[in-house]
């Protein structure tokens, strides 16, 4: 988490756009620093509510001694919460965290391009859209960058930093400094190999879905196997948690530049069908699982797979995981140490794939 004395960098005024889960998490991860912050919600955002909640948190931090009176007053003075995009005019850095839909993001970035001062850096928290797709052909092409945070931002150190072939060296350096000051661990990637943590996990999810599609195991059996032998969260449980619609948009974006699209067609079709039916995961009450008031209705009993089948499946999924991790590590140019650290945190596991 950023500390006031650590933020003496070229980036002093930061805009965060979006009042969803990620936008809120990014804003609050920066809120106790000395940055001048502008938090911009959508047209439909309840700005008085956002302001009220923010002031409540700051007041409580003062009351509990986490923050001094001086810090409290300073933070209140230098924070603006609004849905007026014009407050980003003096921002050194603007971080977008709005829904994962390209046209909406492009409209936003076109507007920001006209509003934000020429030296301002425009960053996207997208988990699947490369920054150069947000807009091109302007004088600001060298000041666009991808900053993919993970939720919850204060707990997750990793950030995927995605540079384009036009990103200026000072932009990269300033953002790296900003992230280091925020205590973040940076995975530096280029656009041809971006968002690798999600892509590694997606490869495993895709292979697991094929197993389910072939009738060798159910979704519940696969999640149970994975939780027993690989990761703390089930592969399909994860998709429900993220949201099937978000997952579908991300997967479409990944697959669009993959040579063998057919490999992913089964899962894509299933996700599209679920979205069409309104089964968006935990938030809608149904996805791969069913939910009541956001709580998963656990199947009473999941029939255990024959030992041999279970062993074969987990061995296959482990191989898929290691193979994907190796492939994306080589493509990205990251070290195995960097990947171990990032994957450990991303998947909540004790040891990375190369440990």
β-strand partners of 96: 17, 124
Pick from 15, 17, 22, 28 the residue near other proteins by CB under 8 A.
28
Whether 317 and 234 have beta carbons less than 8 Å apart is answered as no
CB nearer to other proteins: pick between 183 and 311: 183
For residue 60, state whether it binds other proteins (rule: CB under 8 A): yes
291-292 and 295-296 beta bridge pairing: antiparallel
Query: Which window, 136-144, 147-155, 202-210, 257-265, contacts other proteins (CB under 8 A)?
Result: 147-155
230 to each of 14, 86, 297, how far by Cα in Å? 39, 47, 23
Question: Rounded to the nearest whole angstrom, what is the least distance from the CB of residue 258 to other proteins in the complex?
Answer: 30
Question: Rounded to the nearest whole angstrom, what is the least distance from the CB of residue 292 to other proteins in the complex?
Answer: 9
With both helix axes pointing from N to C terminus, report the angle between 244-255 and 196-213 in degrees, rounded to the nearest 10. Answer: 110
Query: Which window, 52-60, 138-146, 206-214, 312-320, contacts other proteins (CB under 8 A)?
Result: 52-60
244 to each of 200, 251, 270, how far by Cα in Å? 18, 10, 10
CB nearer to other proteins: pick between 228 and 277: 228
Rounded Cα distance between 240 and 248, Å, is 11
For residue 43, state whether it binds other proteins (rule: CB under 8 A): no
Pick from 99, 154, 229, 299 the residue near other proteins by CB under 8 A.
154
Pick from 44, 169, 260, 295 the residue near other proteins by CB under 8 A.
295
For residue 253, state whether it binds other proteins (rule: CB under 8 A): no
Pattern 195-234, binding to other proteins, x per CB under 8 A?
Answer: -------------------------------------xx-
Nearest by Cα to 162 from 150, 174, 183, 148: 148
Site for other proteins in 309-348 (CB under 8 A): 345, 348
Q: How many CB atoms lie within 10 A of CB 50?
A: 19
Q: What is the DSSP string of 230-257?
A: T-SS-HHHHHHHH-HHHHHHHHHHHHTT
Q: Which residues bind other proteins (CB under 8 A)?
A: 1, 24-25, 28, 56-57, 60-61, 64-66, 151-152, 154-157, 232-233, 293-295, 345, 348
């Amino acid at each position: 988490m950023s500390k006031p004395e650590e933020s003496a960098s070229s980036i002093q005024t930061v805009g965060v756009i979006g009042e969803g889960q990620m936008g809120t998490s990014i804003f609050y991860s920066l809120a106790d620093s000395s940055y001048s912050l502008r938090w911009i919600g959508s047209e439909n955002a309840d700005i008085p509510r956002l302001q009220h909640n923010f002031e409540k948190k700051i007041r409580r931090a003062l009351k509990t001694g986490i923050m001094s009176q001086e810090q409290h007053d300073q933070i209140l003075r230098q924070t603006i919460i609004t849905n007026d995009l014009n407050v980003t005019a003096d921002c050194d850095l603007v971080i977008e965290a709005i829904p994962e839909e390209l046209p909406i993001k492009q409209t936003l970035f076109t507007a920001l391009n006209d509003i934000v001062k020429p030296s301002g850096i425009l960053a996207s928290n997208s988990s699947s859209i490369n920054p150069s797709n947000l807009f091109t052909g302007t004088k600001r092409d060298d000041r666009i960058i991808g900053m993919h945070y993970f939720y919850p931002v204060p707990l997750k150190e990793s950030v995927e930093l995605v540079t384009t072939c036009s990103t200026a060296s000072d932009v990269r350096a300033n953002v790296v400094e900003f992230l280091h000051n925020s205590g973040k661990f940076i995975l530096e990637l280029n656009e041809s190999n971006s968002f690798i943590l999600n892509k590694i996990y997606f490869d495993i999810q895709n292979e697991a879905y094929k197993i389910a599609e072939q009738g060798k195991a159910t979704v519940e059996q696969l999640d149970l196997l994975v939780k027993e032998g690989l990761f703390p969260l089930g592969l399909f449980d994860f998709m429900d948690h993220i949201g099937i619609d978000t997952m579908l948009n991300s997967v479409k974006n990944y697959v669009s530049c993959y040579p063998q699209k057919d490999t992913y067609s089964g899962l894509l079709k299933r996700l599209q069908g679920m979205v069409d039916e309104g089964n968006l995961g935990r938030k809608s009450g149904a996805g791969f699982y069913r939910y009541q008031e956001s709580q998963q209705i656990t199947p009473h009993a999941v029939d255990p797979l024959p030992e041999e089948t279970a062993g074969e499946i987990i061995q296959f999924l482990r191989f898929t995981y290691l193979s994907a991790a190796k492939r994306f590590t080589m493509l990205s140019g990251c070290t195995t140490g960097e990947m171990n650290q990032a994957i450990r945190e991303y998947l909540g596991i004790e040891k990375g794939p190369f440990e």
